[in-house]
Structure formats: structure tokens, C-alpha cells
């Protein structure tokens, strides 16, 4: 009985530790979940000057800065940074600057082998490769005025669409349409799911993280 009790206690302790390291649990004030499914979890992160970040863990991930800061590798938009699975934060970690730090954090779940090839470009889009890893590909996609993809368009990879600036761009996925975008808005398009898009304003600036 005592052995069973000790084993249960160890399991509970381990589980509590794992939960405590989840940023959605320990730091929901900074890490806001905007997408969560079997392939990815995406956070919109905003850390104001002087705020600290508790210790937490992530699987492999891609970070897309919305502001430049030493906290995000001094990268300025547009950029994409690959971060191997890690635990960070805690102690004095936080935003020691004088301006807010804002970024999108795209966690890559599981260990699925890549099953799709991502094209380097698509018609009507000025594409710049930002990052290419075995799991995912990130490009800056500047959609021309009048760019469109017809209803029924599909891709054989998942797409995390991140707006780098305000835009008027119509995107319909699963019957839900987004027409107006603010910097940092995110929409997920699952592989082989039909969608439709059309740039209804000026050139629209996005980062697309394609999960292979």
C-alpha cells in the first residue's frame, strides 16, 4: 500500500510540474492561446516594460516578432526564428526595455514526419523565405492588390497566417470569413481543407508558417 501511495504521489508531482511549466497555465496574462489543435498551438504574446515571465516550457517552435527587442533575438519584422524545445523564463527574465515586446509563438506539436512539399512561391504573391526547417517553412507573403484564390483551394500542408500589418483581405475557412486584419491577427488553415481568399485592399503583408 505504501509503495502504491508513493507511486501515486510521484505521478501527481510529475503531472503538477508539467502543468506548471505550460505557459498557458502559468503565464496566461502574457501568453494568449489563439490556435490549438493536434498539429500546433499558437500564442499571441505581449510583454510590457518591466513585466517578468515565469519559468515555462515549449516544444519546437517558430517565433514571429511583431516588434524588435533583445527578448526576441533583436530581430525586427519581418522575421521568423526557429527555437528548439526548451524551458526558459523565471527569475529576472522579462522585458527590461522601455517598449512592449510582442510576438507570435507557433508551437510544432508531435513528431510527425513531414508529408508535404511547400512551394517557394505562388502567383500574385511576392514571397521571401524567412526560415526552412524539417518540420515547417516560413515565408513573408506580400499579396498584390487583386490577389485571389478561388473557393475550393486546398494545400497539402497546414498554414498559420499571421498579419504583419492592418489589411483588408477576405479569407473564408470552414464557413468563417475574416475581412479586416490587425497586426498580429492569426488564422489557421488545416491541410486539405477548402478555403477562399481575395485581397480587397492594398498590398497585404503576412507571414505564413507552413507546417509540412
Q: How does pLDDT run along the chain (212 residues), one tens digit per residue?
A: 444 333 333 333 334 444 559 999 999 999 999 999 999 999 999 999 999 999 999 999 999 999 987 666 667 789 999 999 999 899 888 999 999 999 999 999 988 889 998 988 889 999 999 999 999 999 999 999 999 999 999 999 999 999 999 999 999 999 999 999 999 999 999 999 999 999 999 999 999 999 99
Q: Do 64 and 72 form a contact (C-beta atoms < 8 A)? A: no
In a domain, 118, yes or no: no
The set of residues, in sequence order, having a beta carbon less than 8 Å from that of 179 and lying 6+ positions away, is 168, 169, 170, 200
In a domain, 188, yes or no: yes
DSSP 8-state secondary structure symbol assigned to residue 52: B
Note whether 132 and 180 are same-domain residues.
yes
The count of other CB atoms within 10 Å of the CB of residue 166 is 16
In a domain, 63, yes or no: yes
Q: What integer pLDDT is reported at residue 9 of this predicted model?
A: 36
Note whether 102 and 138 are same-domain residues.
no
How far apart, in whole angstroms, are the C-alpha atoms of residue 24 and residue 8? 25
Q: What integer pLDDT is reported at residue 111 of this predicted model?
A: 87
Q: What is the CATH number of the domain that holds 184?
A: 2.60.120.10
Q: What integer pLDDT is reported at residue 150 of this predicted model?
A: 97
Structural domain harbouring 157: 125-211
Q: What integer pLDDT is reported at residue 76 of this predicted model?
A: 77
Note whether 98 and 158 are same-domain residues.
no
How far apart, in whole angstroms, are the C-alpha atoms of residue 184 and residue 65? 9
Q: What integer pLDDT is reported at residue 121 of this predicted model?
A: 85
Note whether 24 and 89 are same-domain residues.
yes
Note whether 6 and 99 are same-domain residues.
yes
Measured CA to CA in angstroms, residue 33 lies from 3, 27, 46, 92 at distances of 39, 11, 12, 24
Note whether 69 and 129 are same-domain residues.
no
* Planar angle of CA 204, 167, 203, nearest 5 degrees: 25
Q: What is the CATH number of the domain that holds 84?
A: 2.60.120
In a domain, 132, yes or no: yes
The count of other CB atoms within 10 Å of the CB of residue 55 is 15
Chain centroid to CA 67: 15
Note whether 95 and 131 are same-domain residues.
no
Q: Tally the domains of the chain.
A: 2
Note whether 11 and 95 are same-domain residues.
yes
Note whether 91 and 143 are same-domain residues.
no
Q: Do 195 and 189 form a contact (C-beta atoms < 8 A)? A: yes
Cell output for 193 = 481543407
In a domain, 189, yes or no: yes
Note whether 56 and 103 are same-domain residues.
yes
Q: Do 166 and 181 form a contact (C-beta atoms < 8 A)? A: yes
Note whether 135 and 103 are same-domain residues.
no
In a domain, 72, yes or no: yes
Note whether 68 and 137 are same-domain residues.
no
In a domain, 119, yes or no: no
In a domain, 113, yes or no: no
- Terminal Cα distance for the chain, rounded: 48
Q: What integer pLDDT is reported at residue 16 of this predicted model?
A: 40
Amino acid at each position: 500500500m505504501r509503495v502504491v501511495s508513493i507511486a501515486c504521489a510521484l505521478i501527481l508531482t510529475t503531472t503538477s510540474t508539467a502543468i506548471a511549466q505550460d505557459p498557458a497555465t502559468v503565464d496566461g496574462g502574457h501568453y494568449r492561446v489563439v490556435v490549438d489543435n493536434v498539429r500546433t498551438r499558437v500564442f499571441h504574446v505581449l510583454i510590457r516594460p518591466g513585466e517578468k515571465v515565469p519559468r515555462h516550457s515549449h516544444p519546437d517552435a517558430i517565433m514571429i516578432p511583431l516588434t524588435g527587442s533583445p527578448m526576441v533575438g533583436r530581430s525586427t519584422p519581418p522575421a521568423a526564428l526557429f527555437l528548439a524545445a526548451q524551458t526558459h523564463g523565471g527569475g529576472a527574465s522579462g522585458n527590461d526595455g522601455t517598449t512592449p515586446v510582442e510576438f507570435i509563438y507557433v508551437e510544432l506539436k508531435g513528431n510527425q514526419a513531414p508529408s508535404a512539399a511547400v512551394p517557394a512561391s505562388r502567383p500574385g504573391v511576392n514571397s521571401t523565405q524567412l526560415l526552412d526547417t524539417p518540420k515547417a517553412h516560413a515565408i513573408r507573403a506580400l499579396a498584390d492588390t487583386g490577389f485571389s484564390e478561388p473557393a475550393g483551394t486546398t494545400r497539402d500542408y497546414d498554414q498559420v497566417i499571421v498579419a504583419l500589418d492592418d489589411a483588408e483581405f477576405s479569407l473564408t475557412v470552414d464557413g468563417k470569413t475574416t475581412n479586416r486584419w490587425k497586426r498580429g491577427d492569426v488564422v489557421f488553415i488545416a491541410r486539405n481543407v477548402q478555403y477562399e481568399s481575395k485581397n480587397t485592399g492594398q498590398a497585404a503583408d503576412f507571414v505564413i508558417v507552413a507546417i509540412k
